[in-house]
Amino acid sequence: MPSNIQIQLDKRPVGEARLSDFKLVVSDTPPLQDGQVLVHHHYLSLDPYMRGRMNDAKSYAVPQALGQTMGGGTVGEVIESRNANYAVGSQVLGMGGWQQYSVVDGNQPGALRKVDTRQVPLSAYLGAVGMPGVTAWYGLVKIIEPKPGQTMVVSAATGAVGSAFAALSKARGCRTVGLAGGPDKCRYGLEELGFDACVDYKQHSSAASLGKALSAQCPDGIDGYFENVGGQVLDAALPLMNAFGRIAVCGMIAGYDGAPLPLAAPALILISRLRLQGFIVSEHREVWPAALEELGRLVAAGQLRPRESVAQGIEAAPEAFLGLLKGRNFGKQLVKLV
Amino acid sequence: MPSNIQIQLDKRPVGEARLSDFKLVVSDTPPLQDGQVLVHHHYLSLDPYMRGRMNDAKSYAVPQALGQTMGGGTVGEVIESRNANYAVGSQVLGMGGWQQYSVVDGNQPGALRKVDTRQVPLSAYLGAVGMPGVTAWYGLVKIIEPKPGQTMVVSAATGAVGSAFAALSKARGCRTVGLAGGPDKCRYGLEELGFDACVDYKQHSSAASLGKALSAQCPDGIDGYFENVGGQVLDAALPLMNAFGRIAVCGMIAGYDGAPLPLAAPALILISRLRLQGFIVSEHREVWPAALEELGRLVAAGQLRPRESVAQGIEAAPEAFLGLLKGRNFGKQLVKLV
């Protein structure tokens, strides 16, 4: 049985999360029982939603338990098996958490999924062809319902969700504008991700100033807005929404540390007859097959080439996660465990 | 030709609207041309949306022109006719405006509609069986999509829209809770309009206090919220929304005077996966026949007996309108012109 390094939640953050909220623990992996497999994780996914789960507050997910391994998506390889459906050597996607190995009951529905790495790299199943990609797909296709020629805007544009959003939106014939932090991310958004324009929100200290810059890139207004951030960015975009515009509310990362983030002008919801809808992609399993099919096709065809920020080794996970919350990552944040 | 007293918009309000923003003008009604009819208005409808039109700002309606008669819904009787479809004596609904008489081209689609007053009183076509009733119907049926046993809440509960909302919501088997200002309105809501509970928002000076009182009347949370008010009332209701709750945004009356009214906790849209949708009922003409049919049936059966606040004489319209904006009316605000 290999020895397994795990990262547990040690304390609930007060305000901003810190390294001291996490604890590194080493344990042995238990022997397999019938139906179980031992998975060696190759990559761990770090995602903004994890910050919400660290609080013990009303939220859509049950809170992360204290003294338990942090939850999270993983891809890896089956290295021992007592389940006929998963041969040793199978490549699998699961929720293995912040650790090097996991023991999984292969018979539990949804616990593991075999993935095909002939055309899609293994790590992409945690990003473009995984939960973040399907998140972009659901918000765009099911909430925003874009029409060719309309203008779509996404915040956190060069992240895992934003990257997929760009490819999906362009594939539907929409003008696609991103909001990202810093000139490097904006250039990458234009040159690699296919955005028609990218606005650097770090150049603006007020919603009014950001709104003016965004408006210049959206001469026909905004028909669909995919919100990953909230706060000032949402205040900048709301007045630019066209009548009957749709806003998919996927993230409010700026508010996770507990600071109240009001919306300045909710009357615009009425004035512009907008539809705002919050969603959690894990509650819409029915769309995953169609979404993953399209996303896999875009990746295989080279139309979606998302960048990855890769931290090395499980010990690096907490610091990489805190960097993600500050926007220090560039593309999908992963931890490589092999 | 009868002499016709009109109320025109004389100045755009700066902040709160005042009597001096209006001007009374007397003119002769012009002689009829072919296809036209002369309507003697019996009732004029006063509605909160008119305040928005008095501003020259981005809004869903074109601004009310200065120096022109204020627009508004009217019911009355044809007293002269050069149109074979409208005999003298016909009772008609139209957009006659703030004046005693109007000359209307009866051939213009939608300009006039004959109404049947055998089971529904004439004035009800401006309220329960008119635009306000259809407004309640659209928000409830098309946006909130209630299910039997769910909890519905409406603000401005004893007004024209709220009254209709109560009857429509109860007819669908929902627990129906109102927010109204003052003990008289709350008692009326319970005794006459069929609300299961009514919360007096004037008893509360903070969203937290109002939310606590509302929560006590919504033991299973809120599934559908119909917003006529905005501001503190919306801040009180939002945290009580159940997962997948729907909010129909019909009015933000508290914000019409230009004071910014932020929404305190928009992150709840994500946390509770809410859908908020603003709408203007005049943009959804396709639902009017079905809605008016149900509303007419409820009025004829005595299940919807909305109260009216009736001001006497066209000269009283401006003051009655300013009172409506302050919530001084009790039920549907009308001006009787005969």
Dihedrals phi, psi of A123, to nearest 5 degrees: -65, -25
The alpha-helical segments, DSSP class H, found in chain A are: 49-54, 131-137, 160-171, 183-191, 207-217, 232-237, 267-271, 288-300, 317-325
First to last CA, chain A: 17
pLDDT beyond 80 at B1: no
B187-218 residue pLDDT tens: 999 999 999 999 999 999 999 999 999 999 99
Report which of B67, B86, B66, B85 is spatially closest to residue B77, judged by C-alpha positions.
B86
pLDDT beyond 60 at B156: yes
CA A215 to chain centre: 26
CA dihedral B190, B196, B202, B208 (to 10 degrees): 170
Domains of chain A: 3-127+306-336 (3.90.180.10), 131-282 (3.40.50.720)
Using the beta-carbon criterion (under 8 Å), do A59 and B271 form an inter-chain contact?
yes
| Out of A250, A270, A277, closest to residue B278 by CB | A270
Q: How far, in Å, CA of A238 to CA of A273, rounded?
A: 11
- Contacting residues of B for A262, CB less than 8 Å apart: 262-266
pLDDT beyond 70 at B285: yes
**Band of the pLDDT at B259, cuts 50, 70, 90?**
low
Q: Is A177 on the interface with B (CB under 8 A)?
A: no
**Band of the pLDDT at B171, cuts 50, 70, 90?**
very high
CA distance A152 to chain B (A): 19
Selected for mutation to probe chain B from A271, A272, A274 (highest B CB count within 10 Å) is A271
Q: Is B277 on the interface with A (CB under 8 A)?
A: yes
Q: Specify the pLDDT at position A157.
A: 95
Using the beta-carbon criterion (under 8 Å), do B275 and A275 form an inter-chain contact?
yes
- Contacting residues of A for B250, CB less than 8 Å apart: 270
CA A202 to chain centre: 21
Enter the pTM of the model: 0.90
Dihedrals phi, psi of A310, to nearest 5 degrees: -115, 115
CA distance A27 to chain B (A): 35
Report which of A230, A252, A256 is spatially closest to residue A52, judged by C-alpha positions.
A256
Q: Render the burial of A124-151: b for 16+ CB within 10 Å, e for the rest.
A: bbbbbbbbbbbbbbbbbbebbebeeebb
Give the pLDDT of chain A (338 residues) as one tens digit per residue: 689 999 999 999 988 899 999 999 999 999 999 999 999 999 999 998 899 899 887 666 679 999 999 999 999 999 999 999 999 999 999 999 999 999 999 999 989 999 999 999 999 999 999 999 999 999 999 999 999 999 999 999 999 999 999 999 999 999 999 999 999 999 999 999 999 999 999 999 999 999 999 999 999 999 999 999 899 999 999 999 999 999 999 988 655 556 668 999 999 999 999 999 999 999 999 999 999 999 999 999 999 988 899 999 999 999 999 999 888 888 899 999 99
Dihedrals phi, psi of A135, to nearest 5 degrees: -60, -50
Report which of B126, B281, B157, B292 is spatially closest to residue B228, judged by C-alpha positions.
B157
Q: Is B14 on the interface with A (CB under 8 A)?
A: no
B287-314 residue pLDDT tens: 999 999 999 999 999 999 888 999 999 9
Q: Which residue of B has its CA nearest to A255?
A: B267
CA distance B265 to chain A (A): 5
Token couple for B278: 């603003």
Using the beta-carbon criterion (under 8 Å), do A263 and B260 form an inter-chain contact?
no
Count interface pairs A-B at CB distance under 8 A. 101
pLDDT beyond 90 at B94: yes
Q: Render the burial of B129-152: b for 16+ CB within 10 Å, e for the rest.
A: bbbbbbbbbbbbbebbebeeebbb
Return the axis-axis angle of helices B288-300 and B160-171, rounded to nearest 10°: 90
Using the beta-carbon criterion (under 8 Å), do B60 and A270 form an inter-chain contact?
yes
Q: State the number of CA atoms in the 13 A half-sphere of A78 facing the CB.
A: 26
Selected for mutation to probe chain B from A53, A55, A155, A269 (highest B CB count within 10 Å) is A269
Q: Is B230 on the interface with A (CB under 8 A)?
A: yes
Q: Specify the pLDDT at position B327.
A: 82
Residue A15's alpha-carbon distances to A18, A52, A63, A254, B265, in angstroms, are 9, 12, 16, 12, 17
CA distance A256 to chain B (A): 9
Q: Which helix (H) or strand (E) segment is B52 a member of?
A: helix B49-54
Report which of B4, B23, B24 is spatially closest to residue B12, judged by C-alpha positions.
B23
Q: What is the DSSP letter of B282?
A: G
Q: Which residue of A has its CA nearest to B235?
A: A262
B30-68 residue pLDDT tens: 999 999 999 999 999 999 889 989 988 766 667 999 999
Q: CB under 8 Å, gap of 24 or more: what pairs does A117-125 form?
A: A117/A91, A119/A296, A119/A299, A119/A300, A120/A296, A120/A299, A120/A300, A122/A42, A122/A43, A122/A75, A122/A91, A123/A42, A123/A43, A123/A75, A123/A308, A123/A310, A123/A332, A123/A334, A124/A299, A124/A306, A125/A75, A125/A93
Q: Specify the pLDDT at position A329.
A: 86
Average pLDDT in chain B: 94
